[in-house]
Amino acid sequence: MSTPNTTLRADVLVIGFGKGGKTVAKAMGRLGRRVVLVEQSSRMYGGTCPNVGCVPTKALVHHAGKRRPDDPPQEWYERAVGSVRTLTRLLRSDNYDALNDADTVTVVTGRATFVDPHTVEVGTGPNRLAVVAETILINTGAEPIIPDVPGLRASKRLVTSTDLIQTTELPQRLVIIGGGFLGIEFASIYRRFGSQVTVLEQAPKILGRLDDDVAAVATGILTGEGVGIVTGVRVMEVRDDESATTVVYEQVGRRHTLEADAVLAATGRAPATGDLGLEAAGVRVTARGAIVVDEYLRTSRPHIFALGDVNGGPQFTYVSLDDSRIVLDQLTGTGTRSTTDRVAIPNTLFMTPPLATVGITERQARDEGRQVKIAGELVADIVAMPRAHVVEETRGVMKFVIDAETDEILGAALLSVDAQELINTVALAMRHGIKAAELRDAVYTHPSSTEAFNEVLGTIIR
């Protein structure tokens, strides 16, 4: 085998430009360490979030919500995608410059493959580059899973979430395979842009991890906007013809068909580890391809860490950011911070209005044998929340699960305007042991969404 033309030596090598990796790279560069960051695509500087994830999808949520009934769907959508592209280009450039302009950080574009525990090669053929480092961080993220449905992979109308947000043509008929958070978010976005949307979900209902009462309100909002939701189905086949794609599914023993202009596979994302050559580094992976890590994010090779989606943990940008804190504590701190320190990590589904949750559900609490009290109210009935009426978004529900003996907040589900912000207050209260009564009796600005807590937490419904 020929040797690479050039060899770079670094204190820290980061593979992948994701949130966790780039944060560690920047911090170590500021400390004067020699850092090399390898990213396989020039379109992914900054990672998934600013390019194909959080930022563009939430920008589309915003633009879809601004469309009025008389605005032409295709024109509005094309204009929205153009605006989102401008935003992502700006963020991509800013992310690249923030690292590559540092004296001690070098950004290399190309695919990295391990050749031994301390060395990767980037590129192929005569232009190969070797990077040798004492410490290595793997931050390559995750990639969409395409379900094994006959005809689906070969369909010219198959799209992933990445494909869909980058096309300027609004699908008139969109079929979404998968009714999880990703599928529901895209259903909400594209229905509001004007697409005819149908969600096919294998489970008996969508949002099955939520309590039935919260899921029912969310489902009612979606169907009220015209999203078709078909549950308990098995997708059998996907067939292309010249003008459309036919999706064949089975429900209760009967076969049905749908015609689509685009078929979105929204059945999850798997860690992107397939081409890294991890066996050459001696790095172990799970059956699903996730890199095995301990609570300090060290792999089976102690000098190699795995951050973000690639380690099989929660697939959230803010978790990847917290991963960076753990790794930095290992490299420059006391080495005591770990994943076990995480308490009350919230998440948000950006349908309209957003659905944010933290902690455990009522069902989980009762299954654990806890004595609980439930506080909850439909947003339209919360007198102390005039903001919902001011912004003309009164749909939704707020629900808290509270320990009946200690008044500890065990969990919350907030389906309402500003829920993505409200949930952070609840999570902070849970982390610091603030009781439900304290959150109920706190002084909040007016008119705000937060002041809904004054009323809802005083309403024990069971």
What three-state secondary structure class fits 237? strand
State yes or no: 333 annotated in a binding site.
Answer: no
State yes or no: 186 annotated in a binding site.
Answer: no
CB atoms within 10 A of CB 126: 8
- Which tokens sit at 37? 């960051």
Identify the helix (H) or strand (E) that includes residue 192: helix 181-193
446 is catalytic: yes
Which residue do the tokens 């697939």 mark?
315
Q: How far apart are CA 181 and CA 210, in angstroms?
A: 11
Q: How far apart are CA 346 and CA 359, in angstroms?
A: 7
State yes or no: 268 annotated in a binding site.
Answer: yes
State yes or no: 410 annotated in a binding site.
Answer: no
Catalytic one of 256, 303, 389, 446: 446
Burial of 213 (0-12, 13-18, 19+ CB in 10 A): middle
State yes or no: 58 annotated in a binding site.
Answer: yes
State yes or no: 178 annotated in a binding site.
Answer: yes
CB atoms within 10 A of CB 10: 21
Q: How far apart are CA 317 and CA 53, in angstroms?
A: 9
- Which tokens sit at 182? 């990703």
DSSP class of residue 290 equals: P
Q: How far apart are CA 439 and CA 426, in angstroms?
A: 8
Buried b or exposed e, range 298-327, using 16+ CB within 10 angstroms: bbbbeebbbbbbbbbbebbbebbbbbbbbb
State yes or no: 185 annotated in a binding site.
Answer: yes
Task: Give strand pairing partners of 39.
Answer: 109
3-state secondary structure 229-260: EEECEEEEEEEECCCCEEEEEEECCEEEEEEE
CA separation (Å) from 394 to 56, 92, 417? 26, 36, 8
Which amino acid appears at position 32 of this protein?
A: G
What three-state secondary structure class fits 158? strand
Is the preceding peptide bond at 447 cis, omega within 30 degrees of 0?
Answer: yes
- Contact assessment for residue 230 and residue 251, using Cβ atoms and an 8 Å cutoff: yes
State yes or no: 184 annotated in a binding site.
Answer: yes
State yes or no: 123 annotated in a binding site.
Answer: no
Q: How far apart are CA 397 and CA 148, in angstroms?
A: 37
Catalytic residues: 446
Binding-site entries for NAD(+): 178-185, 201, 268
Binding-site entries: 58, 178-185, 201, 268, 309
Binding-site entries for FAD: 58, 309
